[in-house]
Amino acid sequence: KLHCIQFADQKQEFNKRPSKIGRRSLSRSISQSSTDSYSSAASYTDSSDDETSPRDKQQKNSKGNGDFCIKNIKQADFGRREIEIAEQEMPALMALRKRAQGEKPLAGAKVVGCTHITAQTAVLMETLSALGAQCRWAACNIYSTQNEVAAALAEGGFSVFAWKGESEDDFWWCIDRCVNVEGWQPNMILDDGGDLTHWIYKKYPNMFKKIKGIVEESVTGVHRLYQLSKAGKLCVPAMNVNDSVTKQKFDNLYCCRESILDGLKRTTDVMFGGKQVVVCGYGEVGKGCCAALKAMGSIVYVTEIDPICALQACMDGFRLVKLNEVIRQVDIVITCTGNKNVVVRENLDRMKNGCIVCNMGHSNTEIDVASLRTPELTWERVRSQVDHVIWPDGKRIVLLAEGRLLNLSCSTVPTFVLSITATTQALALIELYNAPEGRYKQDVYLLPKKMDEYVASLHLPTFDAHLTELTDEQAKYLGLNKNGPFKPNYYR
């Protein structure tokens, strides 16, 4: 009896509040978090706090140095705290700092970089600096910069040119300020997306005489490098970090295993138990998605074109079907094939009312979204990244992020995964910078297996994991070096 009364009181309390305000702030908080395009990490900086462009402001850090251009140097303390939090989740970079601080493998390196500027990349930059490199940095995305982190870096003496919400013109201006400096010439490039490399090719091709190598981490940038190489225009060695084993496994398999549920929950609050889901494609991403959904009690179907992946799906306990066999009964459709037109209008027409459709693959070509923009269908924007598409008979499907990559549009990427990528980048820079003349020609290389294994080994202490060492006899029997590499280069 008592409990009921208490509960009734609370309920009344709640109703007394002006309900309009409550509701409005709730909807705002939802859309805010899912509209952040790259880093959904809380950013203290709002672009509206000061309308002057950072390019028109003269700022100096506490040491009187003004060779940077950011939003507001006063936010440095906030940024420093965020970087300290990120350091906790990036153990390998911190270990690398400890191990190599004495020998300074990057002494004399002048690195010009163009990446997302977030607390995680700040840990990478400070690691490069601790290993002896001088750095100048710009942002590779006009939205993803965390202003307070940029401030902390500028306060720490880095030449950073970046702020959140740059214009296209600002973007190239920042890159130019990094590269075009009197009395300072870069000898290493760290790029994400290939824009920095492109700019130097276009504007300062002579710089490549001094540059020892390029390290590139994104699919797009690597593609651009292979194109240059094919055309015979690549004049320095380049390291493709994107396709190293550790990054592939972590970014694709383990990261998607965590972020698929996160993206779906944030956008639709769907319950997974007992839901019927079809996952198109059973590569690394598909395997991650299926594992997560199965663990939540969903009934999972898989479509696949490759008999090997198909057999793996069957052995993992999933029903292998063609899309049109299950399209009428499933509650969720997830594409992760890297192909185009996997889900077409004919499939969308046959889906049941309320079916959720989303893409985890790399590009937005997998779901034929253009075919839904016809006069007889009504589009309703429910909230940021969530659309209802309504058929004339009242049937509706829920389309997420307009068919773009779900986990980058609607959720975050774990710092630990970024730690793997960043460590790989640091090691690739060290490798290219210290390589003897002639080891690398003017071509695009994959990271040596030995380096890949080293990145993995730096992450093991986090889990208190203990590696077994081969005895001399065992190593001889396997024909291996005791310290690795343990697998051939083609091992995935």
Strand partners, 301: 278, 319
Whether 283 has a binding-site annotation, put simply, is: yes
The single-letter code of the amino acid at 16 is: K
Q: Using CA atoms, how far apart are residues 173 and 167, in angstroms rounded to an integer?
A: 10
| 88 burial type by CB count under 10 A (0-12 exposed, 13-18 middle, 19+ buried) | exposed
Tokens 């507001």 belong to which residue?
72
Residue 107's alpha-carbon distances to 28, 111, 434, in angstroms, are: 48, 11, 10
Whether 286 has a binding-site annotation, put simply, is: yes
Q: Using CA atoms, how far apart are residues 452 and 434, in angstroms rounded to an integer?
A: 17
Whether 179 has a binding-site annotation, put simply, is: no
Number of Cβ within a 10 Å radius of residue 297: 11
378-383 and 386-390: which strand pairing? antiparallel
Number of Cβ within a 10 Å radius of residue 483: 12
Whether 265 has a binding-site annotation, put simply, is: no
The count of residues in the chain is: 492
Whether 192 has a binding-site annotation, put simply, is: yes
Whether 487 has a binding-site annotation, put simply, is: no
Whether 148 has a binding-site annotation, put simply, is: no
Residue 453's alpha-carbon distances to 214, 265, 460, in angstroms, are: 21, 35, 11
Q: What would the two tokens of residue 226 be?
A: 């292979």
Which helix (H) or strand (E) segment holds residue 139: the answer is: strand 134-139
Of 121, 112, 424, which is closest to residue 249 (Cα–Cα)?
424
Whether 77 has a binding-site annotation, put simply, is: no
Q: Using CA atoms, how far apart are residues 121 and 127, in angstroms rounded to an integer?
A: 10
Whether 108 has a binding-site annotation, put simply, is: no
Whether 407 has a binding-site annotation, put simply, is: yes
Number of Cβ within a 10 Å radius of residue 481: 11
> What does the angle CA 346 – CA 371 – CA 338 come to, to the nearest 5 degrees?
80
The conformational region for residue 475 under phi > 0 = left, psi -120 to 50 = alpha, else beta, is: alpha
Maximal C-alpha separation, the chain: 84
Q: Using CA atoms, how far apart are residues 132 and 92, in angstroms rounded to an integer?
A: 18
Number of Cβ within a 10 Å radius of residue 285: 26
Whether 288 has a binding-site annotation, put simply, is: yes
Of 309, 306, 294, 399, which is closest to residue 347 (Cα–Cα)?
399
Residue 432 and residue 451 in contact, taking contact as beta carbons nearer than 8 Å: no
Residue 133 and residue 109 in contact, taking contact as beta carbons nearer than 8 Å: yes
Tally of helices (H runs) and strands (E runs) in the chain: 19, 15
Q: Which residues line the annotated binding site?
A: 118, 192, 217, 247, 251, 283-288, 304, 407
Q: Which residues line the annotated binding site for substrate?
A: 118, 192, 217, 247, 251
Q: Which residues line the annotated binding site for NAD(+)?
A: 283-288, 304, 407
